[in-house]
Structure 1
Amino acid sequence: MRTNPSLAASTRSLTNAASDDWEATYRQMVLYDLAADIELGFFLAYYRNFAIPSIAATLQRNGEIIERPMKRSYDTAIVTYELITSGLNSDRGHHMIRLLNHAHRHVPGSHDDFLYVLLTLLVVPIRWARTHAWRAPTPAEETAATRFYRELGTRMSIHSFPTTLQEAEKFFDSYERDNITYSPAGAQLMAGTVQVLKSRLPAPVRPLTKMMLTAIFDDDRLTDALGLPRATRLTKATLGTVLKARNVIHRRRPMRTAPHFVPGQAGSSLYPNGYRLDDIGPENIMKPTTRQPKESS
């Protein structure tokens, strides 16, 4: 029987990891084993906030997404990856947590709103990977991911964070049942942010961006709330075929040895020469006295 090199290497990495090293386990999944699918899951989590009228109204009033949709999108991703890559207790991690707390200090919203936003980063990528990745996340990876966001929530004064992924999913689904609906603010935010996604795609498929996105969502209520067209059966079937073919190829390849993200390095048109930590976030959000952690070389 032919050995699956990717699956074998992935299994070894999980077996060799210490059982209580939750941060390393989550980092391995995000940066190596399931990197592409977790990244897509983060994008989907970002969009999902626009379907909640109270959150969408706050984001619209803030103006960052409307005025600088590309910067807000990339910066949000960079903050997330910096925390995962460097660690919550690292100098870079401390900087990013201070940035998040400064950014949300005067933001209106209920505790459940803030908890939901944080839970999108946990629940949405895991669910996407379960269904569409070349392999599903393991129980150890799901537990590590839950621990990571519970620890982050504590540092952001978001209390009552679920202790298990199952509890997190229960809250997540209940919150969405009660709150997802169309709002002009949400539709405006989505329309502006779609342009960022479109700019990353090859020119021939850009006209299909919205339809592709709704096929990925596979949720008519979410699609309607965001003011997007519903995906056709053909679009969904095409997406499913593409993902299956991609996974067949992935399973035959060796595991990646280079991380999906390297702190401070280039990786986008917004920061072609790399970035400093002070480049991330709205201008002048951090106090001038905030000490800059040492940059990675």
Structure 2
Amino acid sequence: MSIHTSLAASLRRQLSASPDDWEATFRSMVLFDLAADMELGFFLSYYRNFAIPSIASTLHANGEIQQRPMKRSYDTAIVIYELIANGLDSDRGRDMIALLNRVHRNVPGSKDDFLYVLLTLLVVPIRWSRRHAWRQPTPAELAAASRFFTELGSRMNIDGMPETYADAEQFFDRYEAAHVAPSIEGQHLMDATIQVFQSRLPRPLRAFAGQIISVMLDDGRLVSALGLPRATWLSRTTLKGGLAIRNATRRRRPLEQKPHFTPGKAVSSLYPNGYSLGQIGPINVPHSPAARNNELP
């Protein structure tokens, strides 16, 4: 199979995917076809919560992000990737959903607050991929992503999930229009978390971490709420050019054979030798015995 046939075959599979195969379709999207861009989208979705004063106040009062910003950031990503890679009803998936429910059991917030937090993980990565990925998400992928988060929301007792991706975008935009605003708590959370992004950048770029995030967010209202520096024409042009070169290169390579995420394997310097599910999550939230012992062979 040639390089171009490989990419074309992948696209055909994702275009013609059955609605019944929503979990496999979304898994392929996140771990193979659009892996790098979906990861960046998940990363950006994490910051948006800090721009909602009520949510930022709750997160700030908890103290977990300020005290362990790297662990909180990577654990949040691990949970969502565990769910995608293994499936919502797998043993590891059920352990991660149980952890999410324990973590959020006594968290204050309105129904719309919880719905918004969940929908950041749907809307933000897809919007980023639509604007910047090497190809557009397919209609089947949009439907599969929406179904995945609807099912996750049901398992987390979050009611009112939009029926379609378009409905999710409408709720998301209405909520942000009504609630995005600066807050001291949100800016403290942003200041604590930006070091995680800096650690992933080449050393010469670390001083520009805030401006790089601003360019990626591409939303002046959000940038102001988070206390980030304004993006410049040069930084926007650099990002656009860099992504264009990356995408041109990507289209000339075969689809990756290894998934973007492998459960239990090493993750940055936080879990250099891999992790067990019992290590994931806030240190003051107990895990089930199954999660403490749930290690991959």
Q: Same fold (TM over 0.5)?
A: yes
Contact 1:5 1:252 in 2 (8 A): no
Deviations 1:199-250 (A, max 9, x none): 1111011111111110111110000000001101111011101001110000
Aligned to 2:186: 186
Residue pair 2:14, 2:138 contacting (<8 A) in 1 also: no
Q: Which residue of 2 aligns with 1:203?
A: 203
Residue of structure 2 equivalent to 1:130: 130
State the alpha-carbon separation in 2 of the partners of residues 184 and 244 from structure 1. 37
The alpha-carbon distance between structure 1 residues 293 and 155, as it changes in their structure 2 partners (threshold 3 A), is farther
Q: Is the contact made by 2:65 and 2:192 (CA closer than 8 Å) also made in structure 1? A: yes
Residue pair 1:6, 1:250 contacting (<8 A) in 2 also: no
Offset at 1:75? Answer: 0.2
Whole-angstrom distance in 2 between the partners of 1:12 and 1:126: 19
One-letter code aligned to 2:138: T
CA–CA separation in structure 2 for the residues paired with 1:205 and 1:76: 25
Match of 2:145 in 1: 145
Q: Equivalents in 1 of 2:224, 2:144: separation in Å?
A: 33
Displacement of 1:292 after TM fit?
4.3
The one-letter code matched in structure 2 to 1:57 is S
- Residue 109 of structure 1 deviates from its aligned partner by 0.5
1:59 match: secondary structure: helix
Q: Which residue of 1 aligns with 2:240?
A: 240
SS at match of 2:109: coil
Query: Counterpart of 2:204 in 1: which secondary structure?
Result: helix
Q: Which position in structure 2 is the counterpart of 1:264? A: 264
Task: List gaps (5 residues or longer) in structure 2.
Answer: none
Deviation of the 1:267 alpha carbon? 2.3
Aligned length: 296
CA distance in 1, matches of 2:10, 2:158: 33
Write the distance in 1 (CA, Å) between the matches of 2:9 and 2:129: 18
Residue by residue over 1:74-96, the C-alpha shift from the partner in whole angstroms, topping out at 9 and shown as x without a partner, is: 00000000000000000000000
Specify whether residues 243 and 50 from structure 1 end up closer, same or farther in structure 2 by C-alpha distance, changes over 3 A only. Answer: same
Instruction: Give the equivalent residue in structure 1 for 2:220.
Output: 220
Alpha-carbon RMSD across the aligned residues, in angstroms, is: 1.5
Aligned AA (1:33): D
Gaps of 5+ in 1: none
- Single out whichever of 16-25 and 233-242 deviates more from structure 2: 16-25
Contact 2:56–2:185 (Cα < 8 Å) also in 1: yes
Go from structure 1 to structure 2 and tell me whether the alpha carbon gap of 1:19 and 1:156 turns closer, same or farther (over 3 Å shift).
Answer: closer
Equivalent residue for 2:80? 80
- Give 1:115's aligned residue: 115
CA distance in 2, matches of 1:34, 1:159: 29
> Quick one: percent identity of the two aligned structures?
60
Q: Normalized against structure 1, the TM-score is what?
A: 0.96
**Distance (whole Å) between structure 2 residues aligned to residue 11 and residue 293 of structure 1:** 38
CA distance in 1, matches of 2:201, 2:91: 34
Q: How does 1:1-20 map to 2 (within 5 A)?
A: 4-5=4-5, 7-14=7-14, 17-20=17-20
Q: Secondary structure at the match of 2:257?
A: coil
Q: Deviations 1:113-165 (Å, cap 9, x if unpaired)? A: 00000000000000000010000100000000000000000000100100000
Give, in whole Å, the separation in 1 of the partners of 2:272 and 2:220.
37
For 1:166-181, list aligned pairs within 5 A.
166-181=166-181
